[in-house]
Chains A and B, each alone.
Chain A
């Protein structure tokens, strides 16, 4: 089946630094990928839709200058959290539509800002 690889699985950063999360579709091409954030005991909230070769589409209330998304190829999208602060600590998950039009999720990244 379709596989989406996400790295790193967890990261701890100091406040004020930037951190990059990678999302790769391993066995299919993904023109569209999605980035979600999930706080403890809450559901997944869509942050943005990443489109290959064009700018990402952000959901209302998501700061595009803080959460930089780059979708440079059909198999790779990256999310960079810039100038991270403790309130950005969360579980970040990417997703891609596979060839069967299902949605496959990466394994997630646990981000902790100290």
Chain B
């Protein structure tokens, strides 16, 4: 069974620091990877997508993918209280469906 694993947290980070979120997945042939942010009671919103090995940067966010290690991470620089949310890692295992991790709850401490 194809799986996506995340540390559920909670992860507490001081305001202005770097938040590091990690995700591992079970299938080497996975094609695309996504990070979503979900506020309580709301639906997920896309933060980043990444398809090839290496880093991808968008503003304060950087996604890192290592297919050999089956590992994808999200770094949030200059963390703000508004970044406090649950971050969901999702993987497309090549069948058009997204499989989600359980999410990591992030709290930014002012």
Seen from chain A, the residues whose Cβ lies within 8 Å of a Cβ on chain B are 6, 32, 34, 42-46, 49, 91, 93, 95, 97, 101-108, 110
**B75 to chain A: closest CB distance in Å?**
21
Asked if A49 and B96 sit within 8 Å, CB to CB, the answer is: yes
Residues of B within 8 Å of A44, CB to CB, are 44, 88, 100
Chain A to chain B contacts (Cβ below 8 Å), 11 pairs: A43-B100, A44-B88, A44-B100, A45-B100, A46-B99, A93-B43, A101-B32, A102-B46, A103-B98, A105-B45, A108-B42
- How long is the Cα–Cα vector from A104 to B36 in the complex, in angstroms? 10
Residue of B nearest to A10 (CB): B41
Asked if B44 and A46 sit within 8 Å, CB to CB, the answer is: no
Asked if A32 and B98 sit within 8 Å, CB to CB, the answer is: no
Asked if A107 and B98 sit within 8 Å, CB to CB, the answer is: no
Asked if A46 and B97 sit within 8 Å, CB to CB, the answer is: yes
Please judge, given known A-B contacts A43-B88, A43-B103, A44-B88, whether A105 and B96 are in contact too, CB under 8 Å: no
**Helix, strand, loop or mixed for chain B's interface?**
strand
Residues of A within 8 Å of B90, CB to CB, are 103
Please judge, given known A-B contacts A49-B96, A97-B96, A102-B49, whether A107 and B43 are in contact too, CB under 8 Å: yes
**A81 to chain B: closest CB distance in Å?**
18
- How long is the Cα–Cα vector from A34 to B102 in the complex, in angstroms? 18
Residues of B38-56 whose CB lies within 8 A of A: 41-46, 49
- How long is the Cα–Cα vector from A42 to B86 in the complex, in angstroms? 10
- Partner of A46 from B32, B41, B42, B98 at Cβ < 8 Å: B98
Residues of A within 8 Å of B96, CB to CB, are 32, 49, 97
Asked if A43 and B101 sit within 8 Å, CB to CB, the answer is: yes
15 new A-B pairs (CB below 8 Å) besides A44-B44, A97-B96?
A6-B43, A43-B103, A44-B88, A46-B98, A46-B99, A91-B41, A102-B49, A103-B46, A103-B98, A105-B36, A105-B44, A105-B45, A106-B43, A108-B42, A108-B43
Residues of B68-91 whose CB lies within 8 A of A: 88, 90
- How long is the Cα–Cα vector from A95 to B43 in the complex, in angstroms? 10
Asked if A49 and B97 sit within 8 Å, CB to CB, the answer is: yes
